[in-house]
A and B are shown apart, each in its own frame.
Chain A
Amino acid sequence: MSDHQEAVVHQVHRDDVGARMGMWLFLFTEVLLFGGMFLVYAVYRYQYPDQFHFAAMELNTTLGTLNTIILLTSSLTVALSIAALQRGNKFLSLVFLSATLLFALMFMIIKYFEWTTKISHGIYPGSPELLAKPNGQILFFGLYYIMTGLHGLHVLVGMVVISFMIVFISRDKVTPDNYVKLENSGLYWHLVDLIWIFLFPLFYLIQ
C-alpha cells in the first residue's frame, strides 16, 4: 500500500429534494424538543388549572397578541422572499428578507420588555415574591421563562440564519436557479412561528 495519496475531486451531486428532506428531519427534532416542554406544561396545567389561570393574568395579552401578529407577518415576508427569488427578483427578495429580520428584531425587543418588566416586579425563578405564591403559579412562571426563553433563543438563531441568507443572495451564492438554502431557512423560520402559535394561547389566553 503506497502512502502517496491522490485527491479525487468529483462533481458535487446536487439534490434539492434531499436537502429539503434533511431539513424537515431536523425540524422534527425541534418539534420533539419543544414537544417535551409542552408535555411538562400539559401535566402541570392539568394539575393546577386555577393557579395557571391566575398567573396568566399577570401576562400582557396585548403585547402577546402583537408579538403573534409580528411573527405571523414575518412568516409571510420570508415566504414572499422565496417567491420573489423564484421569479428572478433578487432585489424584492432581499427587501422581504430584511423585513423578516426587522420583524424578528421587533419580536425580541417586545420580549425583552416583557421579561424586564416581570423581573422588575420581582417575578423570576427563585425570587422571594415568586416563591411566596402558590405552587401552581411558581410552575407557570418557571415554564413561561423556560419556554419563551428557549423559543427566543431559536428566534435569535433564526435571525443569524436569515442574515446569512441576505449575504448569500447579495453575493449570488443563492440564486433563482439554486435557492434550496433559502427554502430551508424559511422552513426553520416557519417552525419558530409555529411554536409561538401554540405558546401564545397557552400562556396568554387562559382567561
Chain B
Amino acid sequence: MSGNNKHHSSYGTYIIVWIALIAFTSITVTIAGVNLGRYTLFIALAIAAIKSTLVINIFMHIKFDEPIFKAFLGISGATLFIIFLLTFFDYLYR
C-alpha cells in the first residue's frame, strides 16, 4: 500500500524555517561573546534544541507524519536523556 504523505510543505515554509535557523545561529554566536556565567551552556543548548525542533518537525516532516513517529522519537530521546541522568549520578557525587 503506497502511503505517500498527503501533506506537502510549500517552498515558502521551508525558506522561512531556514531563515529562522540562520537567525538562531547568529543569536547563539553573538550570545557566546556575552558572559552569562552559569547559564552559558544551558542557553546554548536551549537554542540548539529550538533549531533541532524546527529541523525535526518541518524539514524531517515529523509534525505531519503519523503520530507513531513522534512516539518513537520520544522513546529514543527519553532513553538517551535517562542514560545521561543516571551517568551523572556518578560524576556529580564523586
Contact = CB atoms under 8 A, between A and B. Distances in A.
A207 B33 contact: yes
B14 A79 contact: yes
A39 B10 contact: no
Contacts of A72: 18, 21-22, 25
B67 interface: no
A73 B21 CA distance: 9
B58 to A, nearest CB: 8
Nearest to A183: B61
Interface residues of B, number: 48
Nearest to A205: B32
A39 B84 contact: yes
A35 B83 contact: yes
Contacts of A24: 69, 72-73
A109 interface: no
A80 B17 CA distance: 12
Interface residues of A, number: 50
A15 interface: yes
A16 B65 CA distance: 12
A158 B76 CA distance: 22
A205 B44 contact: yes
A160 interface: no
Nearest to B51: A197
A205 B28 contact: yes
A87 B91 contact: no
Nearest to B3: A17
Given A190-B60, A194-B52, A194-B56, A201 B2 contact: no
Contacts of A13: 1
Nearest to B29: A65
B22 A201 contact: no
Given A73-B18, A207-B32, A190 B83 contact: no
Interface of B: 1-4, 8-11, 14-15, 17-18, 21-22, 25, 28-29, 32-33, 40, 44-45, 47-48, 51-52, 55-56, 58-61, 65-66, 68-69, 72-73, 76-77, 79-80, 83-84, 87-88, 91-92
14 contacts: A20-B65, A24-B72, A35-B80, A39-B84, A73-B18, A75-B55, A76-B14, A76-B15, A76-B17, A79-B58, A179-B4, A183-B61, A197-B52, A198-B48
Given A13-B1, A43-B88, A177-B4, 12 more contacts: A15-B3, A24-B73, A31-B77, A39-B83, A39-B84, A43-B91, A75-B18, A79-B9, A79-B58, A186-B59, A190-B55, A194-B56
